[in-house]
Amino acid sequence: MDTGQEMNNTLTVVTREQVSRWMDGDIASHELELAMKTLCAEETRYCWAELHFVGDAIRGLEPSKAGCADRIRSAIAIEPTVMAPQVKTARQRLEIAQEKSLFASMRKVGRGGRAWATAAAVAAVGFVGTVVYQQQLSLSPTATIAQSNGASQPGAEAGSPVATTSVVARNDDFNTLLQAHRESADASSLYAVRQYLRPAVAMQPNAAPQ
Amino acid sequence: MPMTDRLVDQELVERAQAGDKRAFDLLVLKYQRKVQRLVSRFVRDSGEVDDVVQEAFIKAYRALPSFRGDAAFYTWIYRIAINCAKNYLSSPGRRIVAASSLETDETEDAESFDRNTGLHDVATPDAEYASKQIAETVNRAMAALPEDLRTAVTLREIEGLSYEEIAEAMDCPIGTVRSRIFRAREAIATELRPLLGTREDRRW
């Protein structure tokens, strides 16, 4: 005769404790697969049934007639197997709930959290901007061209931002071209963008800046 | 974040919907006594109650494709059980009706039925004796439990608190709550086992 005691002896205490907490919903999403596989085993099924019986007995529920669940199981066994289309799974629901919980935690952090995020973003932009600017500075036309002509620029030496971009003419034709441009260009068409323009100074190779 | 009791049910339902009949069997084992108590509010004869309970679970199994998980499984199975009980009572030759029960709102939360007294006017003397024995054994086992175990299992089984809530109420880690509830259940199960019958003739 196979008694309940014998059925339970085949299960370890660890497994029974797992069943105890799983039946209360104390189960992490990552152990769901293991839980379902374990619960469907015959020995664990008995443990599941017994622990639910204990809970119902504590609540004062009347016991079922002996073998009631087995009769239902036999009746279900001869039913055609259900194959229903899957909608959103419980696991997906749990993951959604976890995401909501995460967002809720972030909201709890509140303005302080947002301020930290903003500060971090500004710091990152500032850092990248500084690095790029320094790279551009080291490759600026002033320094390159001036060095190529053996002339030194005070601004470049100091490493400070250059307010005036000096363009060193490589030949005499440049000044002629520049003069012609000034005379023929319609100055009013540059009005809208003049704030973005910086004055260009034409320099003779051996002449001092004007 | 742990799952809730309801999500575990939902997982079992989805497995049953995917063709795993064992998963549905676990739901039967979990809810059969609650459904039985509910049906007994409508049908007084214990033999007829069993028939209606069985019919309710079979209808639920057939209707699984229509269960989308918008409501809890127990709400769904209770509604099916109430309809089965009413259909049973309205069938020719059935006159045993608990009038007050039929006036109950179908949408009433299923948990409230658990707190009401079942109707067992036609229960057999053997069944009554067995029920009484089980109740006395549980009460004795509960009384013999250490205070912290009794409190933990009461908060879980009677009050329906989650492990997190019990940990907060008892001011202890959640692992301690798990252990206390398990030890309490084991102690009560040990006392109940002689009354549960053999594998072929057990109490579920």
Q: What is the ipTM of this complex?
A: 0.85
Q: Which of A60, A77, A94 is the last residue of a domain?
A: A77
Per-residue pLDDT of A30-39, as tens digits, reads 888 899 989 9
Asked if the Cβ–Cβ distance from A54 to B6 is below 8 Å, we say: no
- From A39, A60, A77, the end of a domain falls on A77
Cβ contact, residue pair A62, B182, below 8 Å: no
- Considering the domain boundaries, does residue A70 fall inside one? yes
Would you say residue A85 lies in a domain? no
Domain assignment present for A171:
yes
Closest CA to B138 of B76, B88, B71, B203: B203
pLDDT band for B174, please (50, 70, 90 cuts).
very high
Residue B83 has pLDDT above 70, yes or no: yes
Number of domains in chain A: 2
pLDDT at B6: 86
Chain A residue at shortest CA distance from B178: A21
Residues in B 157-176 with any Cβ partner in A closer than 8 A: 157-158, 162-163
Q: Which of A16, A79, A90 sits opposite B7 (nearest CB)?
A: A90
Interchain proximity A94–B3, CB inside 8 Å: yes
Stretch A167-177: mean pLDDT: 61
- A95 at interface of B, judged by CB pairs closer than 8 A: no
**Among A172-176, A189-193, B61-65, the least confident range:** A189-193
- Calculate mean pLDDT across residues B169-190: 96
Inside any domain, residue A165: yes
Which of A93-107, A136-150, B129-143 has the lowest average pLDDT?
A136-150
Gap from A109 CA to chain B (nearest CA, Å):
19
Q: Indicate the pLDDT class of residue B91, thresholds 50, 70 and 90.
A: confident
**What is the structure's pLDDT at A128?**
78
Residue B79 — pLDDT band, cuts 50, 70, 90? very high
CA distance B38 to A61: 11
Q: Residue B101 pLDDT more than 80? A: no
Highest mean pLDDT among A70-79, A127-136, A179-188: A70-79
Average pLDDT over residues B100-109: 48
Is the CB of B162 less than 8 angstroms away from the CB of A45?
no
Distance of CA A146 to the CA centre of its chain: 47
Average pLDDT over chain B reads: 85
What HEC string does chain A produce? CCEHHHHHHCCCHHHHHHHHHHCCCCCCHHHHHHHHHHHCCHHHHHHHHHHHHHHHHHCCCCCCCCCHHHHHHHHHHCCCCCCCCCCCCHHHHHHHHHHHHHHHHHHHHHHHHHHHHHHHHHHHHHHHHHHHHHHHHHCCHHHHHHHHCCCCCHHHHHCCCCCCEEEECCCHHHHHHHHHHHHHCCHHHHHHHHHHCCCEEEECCCCCCC
List phi, psi (to 5°) of B57. Answer: -70, -35
Distance in angstroms (rounded) separating the CA atoms of residues A27 and B100: 40
Boundary residue ending a domain (A77, A99, A114): A77
A194 by Cβ neighbours in 10 Å (0-12 / 13-18 / 19+) ranks as exposed
- Return the minimum-mean-pLDDT range out of A78-87, A108-117, B22-31, B136-145: A108-117
pLDDT at A86: 63
Residue A152 pLDDT class (50, 70, 90 cuts)? very low
For residue A208, being part of any structural domain is answered with: no
**Mean predicted confidence (pLDDT) in B39-61:** 92
Domain that holds residue A147: 141-203
CATH of the domain at A37: 1.10.10
Domains and CATH numbers, chain B: 1-120 (1.10.1740.10), 124-204 (1.10.10.10)
Q: Decide if A63 touches B, using CB distance below 8 A.
A: yes
**What local confidence, expressed as pLDDT, does residue B124 receive?**
73
Does residue A136 lie in a domain region?
Answer: no
Residue A23 within a domain? yes
Q: Is residue A117 part of a domain?
A: no
Looking at residue B86, its pLDDT comes to: 94
> How high is the mean pLDDT of chain A?
70
A81 touches chain B (CB under 8 A): yes
